[in-house]
Structure 1
Amino acid sequence: MTTRRTAEPSLESGDLLALERQVCFALSVAARNVVAVYRPVLEPLGLTHPQYLVMLALWQHGPSSVKELSQLLQLDPGTLSPLLKRLEAAGLLRRERDPRDQRNLAVALTDAGRALRDRAERIPAGIVERLGMPVEELAALQSALTRVIAASQQALAGPADDAPAGLPAREA
């Protein structure tokens, strides 16, 4: 009889490449799963998760240029433009030349887009309920993730030829 052995290195085993030790893996799986939890909640509003994020930004900040929205959402304009086009086709926002600078495109909510906010106000509580986690734990996670975002942005802004932490620098 052969015993099937599973490859589950313990976190104490020192295997730095163990999948379950990787922050990138945990973030990736968590992001996919949380977005999947949002899907059925957003569906009745006619929104996808990325569209919901655009709407959140506009509800909070009001009319914005595409550039401002791009910075708020940390999305490049090429990714943001199709989202805006679909939201405009759904009648939730309008895109027009920015009166302050005709070179820029301004985005503003329509009456229907503003009205959708009332229905969307139930979403956060519904997500907390679906996740079954204490609000305090989710708030602590959001705070930790905000620090991870800042740290990763700082790391990306650093010199390109720096060696990753813990690895020797390349010799010339």
Structure 2
Amino acid sequence: MKVLAINGSSRKDGNTADMLNLVLGELEKEGYETEHIQLAGNTINPCKACFACAGKKNCVFGDDIFQELYRKMTEADAIILGSSTYSADVSSTLKAVIERASVVSDTNPGMFRHKVGGAVAVARRAGAMNTIDTINHFFLNKEMFVAGSTYWNIAYRRLPGEAMKDEEGVANMKNLGQNIAWILNKIK
């Protein structure tokens, strides 16, 4: 089974990447195939709301990395979306992924049905709950099973590498990975 993590942070290999890698590490221990895609440095254009994707199972515009990203999302058994918190929500890049994936899947129903979703947020101080909510609303609206942890899947710090010092955040990420593995084992 495949697990795809998408890092929506504007910083490559920063705190969000560290937290996603903790989640993926737990899944790899259980033998799951994992992939971690970082959106930093890539362009994801906003949805044009043209609905030309209806019946085509992917966006018709190939002027960015979305088509390949969406294909990988539909092939995965579990999707973990992670984002640093910007203005109390997900990054604009991850928001574009969520919006385009929503429209494509709405015009091609069932593409995410029964997949497992996991949300990860990193914040300096506040706003991370909105980030988690945005991601979980996407998962729930697409008929996915949402995995949780012992507390919110949030880590706090600012500079790259600092989130690894958030002991509770690190523990929550590892537990999230274990819970995703548990759900995947139940639905095999």
User: Between Structure 1 and Structure 2, which shows a larger proportion of helix residues?
Assistant: 1
Please classify the TM superposition score into its range, dividing by the shorter chain length: under 0.3
User: Between Structure 1 and Structure 2, which shows a larger proportion of strand residues?
Assistant: 2
Give 1 or 2 for the bigger CA radius of gyration. 1
Quick one: higher RCO (CA 8 Å, sep 6+), 1 or 2? 2
Task: Return the TM-score normalized by structure 2.
Answer: 0.24
